[in-house]
Amino acid sequence: MSDKKVKQRRSQAWYGKLDRDGFIHRSWMKNQGYPDHAFDGRPIIGICNTWSELTPCNSGLRDLAEGVKRGVWEAGGFPVEFPVMSLGETQMKPTAMLFRNLLAMDVEESIRAYGIDGVVLLGGCDKTTPGQLMGAASVDLPTIVVSSGPMLNGKFKGQDIGSGTDVWKFSEAVRAGTMKLVDFMDAEAGMSRSKGVCMTMGTASTMAALVEAMGMSLPTNAALPAVDARRMTLAHLTGKRIVEMVEEDLKFSDVMTQESFLNAIMTNAAVGGSTNAVVHLLAIAGRVGVELELDTFNLASEVPLLVNCMPSGKYLMEDFCYAGGMPAVLAQISSLLQPARTVLGGDISTYYEGAQCYNQDVIRSLDDPLKPAAGLRVLRGNLAPDGAIIKPSAATAALLEHEGEAYVFENIEDFKSKVDDLDLPVTKDTVLVLKGCGPKGYPGMPEVGNMPIPAKLAQQGVKDMVRVSDARMSGTAFGTVVLHVSPEAQAGGPLALVKTGDKIRLSASQGQLELLVDEAELQARRDQWQPDAPHYTRGYAKMYIDHVMGADKGADLDFLVGKDTRPVTRESH
């Protein structure tokens, strides 16, 4: 061991002792070939990796981890990579969201249990980034993010196509008889042409954009394609920076402040970001101790849409990158941003100083937006006393003020069994209502809120309808869709009481969602209501159902809110 005098670090409780415990910690690590001087008190940096072949979006993270390690070694640190649960949005059943909180537990306990001084979070696919941030927030070490990066643009018959968004369009076209099945199948091969997350402004790219806007990653993290060499450079520079953050004792909570969350909300509106950002930001805020309410998202309701990317626009993330990426967007909305600290130590303004836009059709200005006043809207009323949300930028403007009769699907199985029935008693003015898809009900709050248009209406050319549920929808999806209705049906919320034929009124401009049924009738229905039997009765899923909070609280587990920064003092041997 070196006699070099260094600042005492967290890792030294593991590797700095000249006793039996220190011997055990160092000796077992040395079976990987590390020399004595690796344990001389230098910062030990954990690389929290969600790489998995079952999570295609994150399949490039193994390579990026090597870039991070190079930077850590260069800066005089000691990098150690560790795996955590990986959540493949397109692959997991019943929904990856069920396991976001389990990933957060995995991340939290791994960071706490191991002798590291700072952590680099490698994530990308929809739930991995928020899950990692939630876990890291609860330990509060110096933390920084490197995202997977988006795939290259999809290609089909000479046109760009976007993951998710065009899947929904093509699928509906097949159901409507306007696209041949053989063409649908041909598009599959051209959709995903490289490693990386969805190349639309879905949840994965939204979260990467918000991470950058909150100063939790280095600039340009959001949009560089996964296979662009500059993302490896970014990983290297991130490894170098995390060592400096440990030296400066710049912790998670120093960066993720109230101002940072407000900046994320404004940014989400400007980029046309996913509705899923709402539940994720609420959950992360709950962990780090920032007061954030659902209604806070209304602060951005008048923010115009500037990024012309699917599903709210026509371009893809590769185009967004080449147009200037997040620095160009932040420069455009600088007047809306709060001063906030970043992982670079300075203010968020340093992220966009001198930034330029290279394609003004991809990144618009505040004076020439793609859509005005396009931020997410929070809805309240007797159908959603704890709130619901809608994404106007992805909706049909004429349907944002609507009154119609409900047609109710009691659960997702009921919906799937009926939606293609050509005798279904619905019209284009019907409000489709889906129950049983909230955090407890499904469980896990799946992305099924953007219900496909009933087959008989799709064949008539109907492209959009008002849809109401306690579910979420993919960030790549679109439509006049009311989501996250709270309390959810399984928890006995008013949604559980809706019957086919009831009238529902939606007013996005007024922030209202009303069930036009008198209170006496609703109380009679409430007296007769019983929750459905839970789908899961064992393991993590049972614990989730027993402890998950509502969507308006971020759907975190009640016993995980907050953080625990106490040092680990008990030895394992």
Helix axes 128-137, 100-113, angle to 10 degrees: 40
Q: Mean pLDDT, to the nearest integer, of 509-522?
A: 97
Task: With CA atoms as reference, report the closest residue to 267 among 238, 299, 226, 235.
Answer: 299
pLDDT score recorded for residue 172: 87
Q: Mean pLDDT, to the nearest integer, of 433-460?
A: 96
Domain count across the chain: 3
pLDDT score recorded for residue 7: 61
Residue 231 to residues 66, 201, 213, 362, 432, Cα–Cα distance (Å): 12, 18, 17, 21, 43
Write the single-letter amino acid at 213: A
Q: Give the pLDDT confidence of 74-121 residue by residue, as tens digits.
A: 999 999 999 999 999 999 999 999 999 999 999 999 999 999 999 999
pLDDT score recorded for residue 345: 97
**162 by DSSP, 3-state: which?**
coil
80 within some domain: yes
The region of weakest confidence among 5-9, 38-42, 194-198, 395-399 is 5-9
CA 231 to CA 218: how far, in whole Å? 11
Give yes or no for a contact between 305 and 393, defined as CB atoms under 8 angstroms apart: yes
pLDDT score recorded for residue 555: 98
431 within some domain: yes
Cα 73–chain centre separation: 31
Residue 193: which H helix or E strand, with range?
none
Q: Mean pLDDT, to the nearest integer, of 538-548?
A: 97
Are 197 and 187 in a shared domain? no
Instruction: Please give the radius of gyration of the chain, using alpha carbons only, rounded to the nearest integer.
Output: 24
pLDDT value at 5 more than 60: no
Q: Give the pLDDT confidence of 190-211 residue by residue, as tens digits.
A: 999 999 999 999 999 999 999 9
Are 330 and 436 in a shared domain? no
Are 96 and 199 in a shared domain? yes
CA 434 to CA 411: how far, in whole Å? 6
pLDDT value at 3 more than 80: no
DSSP state of 409: E
The region of weakest confidence among 168-182, 279-293, 343-357 is 168-182
Are 178 and 197 in a shared domain? no
CA 55 to CA 91: how far, in whole Å? 7
Are 241 and 317 in a shared domain? yes
Are 132 and 225 in a shared domain? yes
pLDDT value at 1 more than 50: no
Write the single-letter amino acid at 80: V
555 within some domain: no
Q: What is the CATH number of the domain that holds 265?
A: 3.40.50.2300
Q: Mean pLDDT, to the nearest integer, of 219-229?
A: 98
The region of weakest confidence among 198-207, 384-393, 414-423, 562-571 is 562-571
Residues contacting 115, CB < 8 A, separation 6+ = 10, 11, 13, 14, 15, 25, 44
Are 391 and 526 in a shared domain? yes
Give yes or no for a contact between 502 and 508, defined as CB atoms under 8 angstroms apart: no
Of the two residues 437 and 166, the one the predictor is more confident about is 437
Tokens of 351: 């992220």
232 within some domain: yes
340 within some domain: yes
Q: For residue 85, give its domain range.
A: 42-153+193-351
SS3 of 339-358: CCECCCCCEHHHHCCCCCCC
pLDDT score recorded for residue 571: 82
Q: Give the pLDDT confidence of 291-318 residue by residue, as tens digits.
A: 999 999 999 999 999 999 999 999 999 9
Are 291 and 204 in a shared domain? yes
Q: Mean pLDDT, to the nearest integer, of 463-479?
A: 94
Q: Mean pLDDT, to the nearest integer, of 138-162?
A: 96
CA 151 to CA 318: how far, in whole Å? 8
Residues contacting 289, CB < 8 A, separation 6+ = 253, 562, 563
CA 283 to CA 280: how far, in whole Å? 5
CA 459 to CA 451: how far, in whole Å? 16
Q: What is the CATH number of the domain that holds 459?
A: 3.50.30.80
- Of the CA atoms within 13 Å of residue 446, those in its CB half-sphere come to 17
**161 by DSSP, 3-state: which?**
strand
**Cis geometry, peptide bond prior to residue 494 (ω within 30 degrees of 0):** no
Phi, psi of 305 (to 5 degrees): -80, 120
234 within some domain: yes
pLDDT value at 438 more than 70: yes
Are 451 and 321 in a shared domain? no
Beta bridge partners of residue 379, listed in sequence order: 388
304 within some domain: yes
303, 335, 351 - which closes a domain: 351
The region of weakest confidence among 181-185, 496-500, 544-548 is 181-185
pLDDT value at 424 more than 70: yes
pLDDT score recorded for residue 2: 45
Are 222 and 308 in a shared domain? yes
Are 213 and 182 in a shared domain? no
Percent of the chain with pLDDT over 70: 99
Q: Mean pLDDT, to the nearest integer, of 476-499?
A: 96
414 within some domain: yes
Are 184 and 214 in a shared domain? no
Task: With CA atoms as reference, report the closest residue to 87 among 281, 252, 280.
Answer: 280
